[in-house]
Amino acid sequence: MIIFPAIDIINGQCVRLVRGDYATASKVAEDPLETARSFEKAGAEWIHMVDLDGAKAGYPVNTEIYQKIAQQTGLKVEVGGGIRSMETIKAYLDLGISRVIFGSAALKDPKLVEDAVNTFGSGKIVVGIDAKNDMVATEGWLETSDVDYITLAKKMISVGVTTFIFTDIAKDGTLSGVNLDQLRALRDATAGTGARIVASGGVHTIEDIIACRELGLYGTIAGKSLYQGTLDLHEAIEAADTLTIRPMTMDDYDNAYAVWVACQNGLNNLDDSREGIARYLARNPHTSFVAEDNGAFAGVILCGHDGRRGIIQHMSVHPDFRRRGIAHRLVKAALNALKKEQINKVLLVAFKKNAGGNAFWESEGFTLREDLNYRNIALADMVRFDPDYQQ
């Protein structure tokens, strides 16, 4: 489960509201960029940001702040507030924003949401469902509709939305605990659809994080609790960890292949076919692994050996789950498995053109070579002559 520390902006200032009431706005931090950097230092991978001025105005107001954080930190930024057009979405994504959040537009202009999903992909679009007494609120929570939150979620799923942020406005900013009953109802109503639910509003202590994790939620947003010190971000991130690494079997083939395609890996019809992978796993049954996050297939490493050196053929994390740690933990599992089989030298099959991927492998200790084989791929060696080596 992902922990999303939150920064809400009014007039360029970091603020928090109580129950969405603008009159209760109180400054909680001096500088948005430095606050974001402190979150990153604590281990956050995402940051949730809301343009409260934009939510009220109906168009973006504090764009420069989000741009700085997206471009000057390693955080993935999701932004909501005042997003009412395709032009706004494109402008945000072009600035390096990872995801945009529809609020009022989801209820008032569902065709816009559908077009955005079709144009930019579901991974870039989030729908925020904010409820007062089960009814959806809009326009910066200043208006309440006659549509209940589950009905809106199902409508958005029908147009391709996969990620939802649910906020019980009565809980927001109160430090009174998350609304587990409403979250459970939303989870159950959307079961089997692939919907990913993020809890927002009322997070107080680590117990709220654990409760959301046990519900199987995709994420939890924490704001006031972080600023007032009732929740430690690093502790919350550790408590939220739902990632598991396990050995790969042929039952994982379809999911693994889908990840390879999503990552645009170089695939061929022989080695990467079902039959080819079956032969690969038969030769090396204990050195390939998959990562699952809350039961969802998140990544895979295909690794074998020839008795004297290991060979990593594929290591991919699905774009929806690219968070620091997953790739490293897959590699760690493969290297430790090779070590158990007395293999301490590993050959990596890596695409030379993939600069980002190569940087990752270099951080793992691989030395990239310049020579290419007939597939236009670079062979990279990682030499581990130390028999006591451990990742």
List 130, 168, 252, 293, catalytic entry: 130
Q: At a CB cut-off of 8 Å and minimum separation 6, what does 222 contact? A: 3, 4, 5, 6, 203, 209, 231, 233, 236
CB 310 within 8 A of CB 286: no
User: What is the dihedral angle through the alpha carbons of 204, 206, 210, 212, rounded to the nearest 10 degrees?
Assistant: 20
List 8, 51, 172, 272, catalytic entry: 8
Q: For residue 243, what is the DSSP state?
A: E
CB 36 within 8 A of CB 47: yes
Query: Would you call 130 a catalytic residue per the annotation?
Result: yes
How far apart CA 331 and CA 77 sit, in angstroms, is 26
CB 102 within 8 A of CB 127: yes
Residue 146 — φ and ψ, nearest 5°?
-105, 25
What are the DSSP calls for 9-41, one per residue? EETTEEEEEETTEEEEEEEEES-HHHHHHHHHH
The dihedral sign for the CA sequence 253, 258, 259, 265:
positive
Query: Would you call 8 a catalytic residue per the annotation?
Result: yes
CB 314 within 8 A of CB 265: yes
Q: What is the H or E stretch that residue 207 is in?
A: helix 206-214
One-letter-per-residue 3-state SS of 107-150? HHCHHHHHHHHHHHCHHHEEEEEEEECCEEEECCCCEEEEEEHH
Which residues are part of the catalytic machinery?
A: 8, 130
